[in-house]
Amino acid sequence: MKKFLRRIGKTRFMILCFIVLVAISYYFNGWCGVLAAALGWFLGSVIYNWQESKQRLKKFFRTNTSLKVKTIIFVPIAAVSTYNFGWKGFLTVCAGWCVGEIISRRFFK
């Protein structure tokens, strides 16, 4: 067993655990469970590699200002519309955002 674990390595072992957990969460909770498992995996990887993640986050927050502003505006609107109207509201917000990006890039640049 030790040879097997050394052979697959830490990263591959974590991916195998992730696949099993995603399958279980999909069985019990559907797509919301898969989304929750993916979010948990992301947060776990950020916490596990905190020093490397901290440097990536600092680099991200120094750049991509327009992306951050758009995200700060988009996330609350998408959350409220998803809460009130479900997936139709979320898809409508995404479509509206895409149309707004097309219009603003065409007329303002």
Q: Are residues 6 and 36 in the same domain?
A: yes
Structural domain count of the chain: 2
Distances (CA, A) of 55 to 22, 59, 72, 94: 29, 6, 21, 30
* Structural domain span for residue 75: 64-109
Taking 80 as the threshold, does the pLDDT of residue 109 lie above it?
Answer: no
Taking 80 as the threshold, does the pLDDT of residue 2 lie above it?
Answer: no
Which letter, b or e, does each residue of 45-61 get, where b requires 16 or more Cβ atoms within 10 Å of its Cβ?
A: eeeeeeeeeeeeeeeee
Which of 40, 45, 52, 61 lies closest to 11, judged by CA?
45
Taking 60 as the threshold, does the pLDDT of residue 5 lie above it?
Answer: no
Q: Are residues 11 and 42 in the same domain?
A: yes
Q: Are residues 45 and 72 in the same domain?
A: no
